[in-house]
């Protein structure tokens, strides 16, 4: 009798799990553009809150103790990433950046925290627009390398949009911590 209940219970559990699995949605296929866009969104979700966490009076901070001579200030880090985002987006779209960049450092005229934050947010919006233009037909097309001679593929330069901001994010985290600020991504853990 006990054995029969055990068998019936196992059959019931298996039947229910089969029904549950049968109702699960099949995995949606995503395009390269969608995958890259989502990944850049995750980068943006780390980078912008960190940029916003530094008080405006500390935006000019750069470490001085140790081997830090000539490093970028916090503001320069954020502005540089934004400028490079625009350069990558313009490369993917094969057009001129929609704003005057003044090179990889970004325009020095953008100096206040509010203006730098707007510049950074707008650069990510432009980057999302550029990533949306990548498709199966053009992802391996050669485009002019914005950082040197030669050509790169659209998809290849798009990957820089993932790695570059995170390199600077790591530096910004150090700057925040040197100023007694816990980075937003580390709060509540």
Q: What is the residue extent of each domain of the chain?
A: 31-183
What confidence category does residue 12 fall into, taking pLDDT thresholds of 50, 70 and 90?
very low
* pLDDT, averaged across the chain: 88
Domain spanning 31-183: which superfamily? dinb family like domain (1.20.120.450)
Contacts of 52 (CB under 8 A, 6+ apart): 117, 184
Quick check: 166 pLDDT over 60?
Answer: yes
The torsion region of residue 103 among left (phi > 0), alpha (psi -120 to 50) and beta comes to left
Encode pLDDT of 60-77 as tens digits.
Answer: 999 988 888 889 999 999
């Amino acid at each position: 009798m006990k054995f029969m209940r055990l068998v019936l219970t196992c059959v019931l559990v298996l039947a229910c799990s089969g029904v549950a699995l049968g109702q699960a949605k099949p995995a949606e296929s995503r395009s390269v553009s969608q995958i890259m866009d989502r990944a850049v969104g995750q980068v943006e979700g780390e980078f912008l809150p960190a940029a916003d966490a530094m008080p405006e009076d500390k935006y000019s901070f750069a470490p001085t103790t140790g081997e830090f001579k000539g490093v970028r200030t916090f503001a320069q880090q954020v502005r540089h990433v934004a400028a490079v985002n625009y350069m990558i987006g313009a490369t993917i779209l094969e057009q001129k950046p929609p704003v005057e960049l003044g090179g990889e450092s970004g325009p020095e005229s953008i100096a206040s925290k509010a203006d730098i934050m707007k510049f950074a947010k707008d650069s990510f919006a432009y980057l999302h627009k550029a990533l949306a233009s990548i498709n199966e037909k053009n992802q391996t097309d050669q485009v002019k390398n914005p950082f040197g001679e030669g050509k790169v593929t659209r998809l290849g330069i798009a990957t820089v949009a993932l790695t570059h901001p995170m390199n600077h994010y790591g530096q910004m985290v150090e700057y925040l911590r040197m100023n007694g600020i816990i980075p937003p991504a580390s709060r509540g853990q």
